Structure 1
Amino acid sequence: MSLFSPLFTSLGSLLTHLADGLDVAFGASATAAAIVVFTCVVRLALHPLARSAARGERKRAELAPRLAELRRKHGKDPERLKQEAAAMYRKAGSSPLAGCLPMLAQLPVFYVMYHLFSTGDGAGNLLEHTLLGAPLGDRWTDALAHGGLVGGRGLVYLGLFALVGAVATWTYLRGRKTVAAPAATGAADGPVPGMAAMAKVMPLLSFGTLVTAAVLPLAAALYLVTSTTWTAVERALLQPLRTSQEQTGSLVDRQAEGRAEEQTEGRAEEQTEGRVEAHAAGRSNGQAKGQAQGRARSQARSRARSQAKGRAQGQAKGRAKGRAKSRTKGRTSAT
C-alpha cells in the first residue's frame, strides 16, 4: 500500500481540516460528521458519472428489442450476429458496455474511501474519535461488550441499523419493481436463464448492508450507510433517464389495453345478461300464451261436448214423442 500512502495522507489531512471546521457545531462528534459530509461531497463529484451510466442503461434498453430481433434472425450464425450487433451499436452511437464503464470508473474512489475509513491509514488518529461516545474504530461487538444492546454505544448502532433498515426496505421495494419490469414488458427474446432466481435474490441484497455495518469499524459503517443512502436516492432521481421511451410507451399501451379489455368484458357481460333476461322473458310469455291457448281449447271442447250431448238428448226425446203419438193414433183408429 506504499504506492497509495501519499493519497491516504492527503485525504486524511483534508478530513482533519473538515472536522476542525465542524467542531463548533458537532463537538466531539465532529470527525463522524466530517466523514458523512466528505462522503456526500465525493458522491456529488461523481454524480456526472452516475448520470452517464443512467443514460447508457437507457440506450441499451432502447436497443434491446432490435438486438432480440437480430438474435432471432442470426442465432445460428454467431459471427453474423456479432457483426450485425456491432453495426447496430455503431449506428446508434452506443456500445454493449454503455452504462457499465461509468460505474467501473467509480470503483477506485470507493475503494480508497473504504480503506481510509476502515483502517485509518494516513488519517492520524481518525479512529480514536467518537460518535456520541462510541469510538469510530470500534465494532458492534465492542459496543455490546461496553454497556450491552441498549447501552450508550449500543444505542448508536441501533440508530445506525434503523437507518440502514429503512433504506434497505425502500431499495428492496423499488428493486422488485425494477427487476420485474422486463417480465412485464414481455421480452421478445424469451426468458433469460437464471432470471427468475436473480429476480428473487437481487432485491434482498440491499439488506446485506445491515450485516456489513455490524462487522465494520464505526467510521467505515458511517461511510457505507451514507454512500448507500446517497445511491438509493440518486437512483430514484435518475430513474426517468434510465427508463426508455419504448418501455414507457409499452407500459401506457398495456394500461390502455387493460382498460379497453375491462370495458369490452363489461359490455359483453351486460349484453349476455340482457339476452338471458330477454330469453327468460320470452319463455315466460310463451308459457303464458300456451297455457291460455290450452285453457281456451279445453273450454271449447267442453262446450262442444255439451252442445252435442244436448242435441243428442233433444233428438232422442223427439223420436220418443213421435213413436208415442204414432201408437196413440193407431189405437184410436182401431177403436
Structure 2
Amino acid sequence: MDTTTLPVVGPLLHGGADLLTALTGALTPVGGGFAAALAVVALTLAVRVALVPLSVLQVRAERDRRRLAPQLAALRRRYGSDRERLQRAAQELYTSERVSPLAGCLPVLAQAPVLSLVYTLFTHATIDGAVNVLLDATLVGIPLGHSLLVVLAGPLWTHAWVVLVLLAVLTVVVEASRRAALRWNPVTQDGTAPAATVRVGTAVARWAPFVSVVFAAVAPLAATLYVVTSAVWTLGERAVLRRVLR
C-alpha cells in the first residue's frame, strides 16, 4: 500500500513538496547547486523559530526541576523503596509547584511530524501517483534521498565524505549539548535504587542522545540535514535561554 495516496497524507506531502520546491527555486539564484539543501535548512530553521515558545517552556521546566531537586531527594529518602508512594508524592509536588515533568519533551514531539514529512518526501519515488521531483535534488553530487549506507554501497562512495562530515558535526554537537545539560541540571543519584539499576540508567543517559546520530546515518541526506541543523540550533538556543532564564 502506498501511504502517500491516503486522504490526509497525500495533500500534506504535496504541500511539503510544493514548499520545498518553491524554496529551492527562490534560493537557486544565491545557492546554485546547493539550493535544495539550503531549502531543507531553511525549513528546519523556520520550524525551530516557530517552536521557540516551547523551548522556553522546556528550559523553564529544567530550571524548576533543578529547584525541586532537594525536595525530590528528601522524598526518596523518606519513602525508600516504596515506588508507588514516591511517585504519588513526586506528582503532588510537581502539581503544587505547577511544574510539568513532560515539558522537556515538547520541542522533540512537535518536530516529529515535520521530520517525518521530510523523511517521507525523500524516500518515495511518487507522491499520490505523481513523480517526486525532489529526488533529483543533490548536495555535492549526492541525491538528497540517499543515505550514507546507499552512498557507500554505490558508485558515489567517493562523495561519502559529505555525509561523514555532517555526522561528525552532529556527534560533536550532541556531546556538547549533553555536557551543557549536565552542567545546567546535574543528575542526582537515587540512593535507594539498586546498583544495577543505577548503572543501566547512567549508561542510557550517556548514550541515548546519540540515537540521533545513528538515525542520521541511515536516513536520507535531506533528513540528515534537518537533524544536524536542528541540533546546532538547539545547542545555541539552549545556551541563550539558560542564561536568560537562569
Fold match (TM-score > 0.5): yes
Q: Deviations over 1:182-207 (max 9, x none)?
A: 46xx65x5265533344345444455
Identify the residue that residue 190 of structure 1 maps to in structure 2. Answer: 191
Aligned to 2:58: 53
Q: What is the letter of the counterpart of residue 146 of structure 1?
A: P
More helix by share: 1
Structure 1 pair 239/140, CA: closer, same or farther in 2 (3 Å)? same
For 2:104, what is the secondary structure of its paired residue?
Answer: coil
Contact 2:27 2:38 in 1 (8 A): yes
Task: Provide the rounded CA distance (Å) in 1 between the counterparts of 2:18 and 2:107.
Answer: 28
Structure 1 or 2, whichever has the larger Rg, is 1
Alignment of 1:159 with 2:162, yes or no, is: yes
Q: Secondary structure at the match of 2:145?
A: coil
- Identity, in percent, stands at 38
For 2:81 and 2:215, the matched residues in 1 are separated by 45
TM-score (norm 1): 0.58
Gaps of 5+ in 2: none
Count of residues in correspondence between the two structures: 234
Which of 131, 135, 143 in structure 2 is aligned with 1:127?
Answer: 135
Q: Taking structure 1 as reference, are residues 241 and 148 closer, same or farther at Cα in structure 2, changes over 3 Å only?
A: same
Alignment CA distance shift 1:134-1:174 (3 Å): closer
State the one-letter code of the partner of 1:227.
S
**What is residue 303 of structure 1 aligned with on the other side?**
none
Cα drift, residue 77 of structure 1 = 6.7
Aligned-pair distance for 1:172?
1.9
Residues 175 and 202 in structure 1, CA contact (< 8 A), matched pair in contact too: no
Q: Which has the higher contact order (CA 8 A, sep 6+)?
A: 2
Residues 191 and 79 of structure 1, relative CA distance in 2, 3 Å threshold: closer
Q: Please state how far the C-alpha of 1:36 moved relative to its aligned partner.
A: 1.2
Instruction: Quote the residue 2:99 is aligned against.
Output: 94
Question: What displacement does 1:127 show?
Answer: 1.1
Counterparts of residues 248-287 of structure 1 (less than 5 Å):
none
Tell me which residue corresponds to 2:231.
Answer: 228
Q: CA deviation at 1:221?
A: 2.3
Secondary structure of 2:99's aligned partner: coil
Range that drifts further, 123-132 or 16-25: 123-132
Residue among 81, 106, 115 paired with 1:110:
115
Instruction: Give the Å deviation of 1:48.
Output: 1.5
Shift in Å, 1:21: 0.5
- 1:125-157 CA deviation, whole Å, 9 max, x = no partner? 1011222222222333544432543xxxx1xx3
Measure how far apart 1:20 and its partner are.
0.8
Contact 1:49–1:103 (Cα < 8 Å) also in 2? no
SS at match of 1:100: helix
When the two chains are superposed, the root-mean-square deviation of aligned CA atoms in Å is 3.3
Judged with a 3 Å threshold, the aligned counterparts in structure 2 of structure 1 residues 203 and 169 are, in CA distance, closer, same or farther, namely farther
The gaps in structure 1 that reach 5 residues or longer are 244-335
- 1:271 is aligned to none
TM-superposed CA distance for 1:49, in Å, is 0.9
| 2:70 matched residue in structure 1 | 65
In structure 2, what is the equivalent of residue 293 of structure 1? none
Most deviating of 66-75 and 174-183: 174-183
Correspondence 1:137 to 2:145:
yes
Query: Counterpart amino acid of 1:61?
Result: R
Q: CA 1:99–1:177 in structure 2 vs 1: closer, same or farther (change >3 Å)?
A: closer
- Pairing partner for 2:175 from 172, 181, 199: 172
Corresponding residue of 2:215? 212
User: Structure 2-normalised TM-score?
Assistant: 0.76
Match of 1:146 in 2: 155
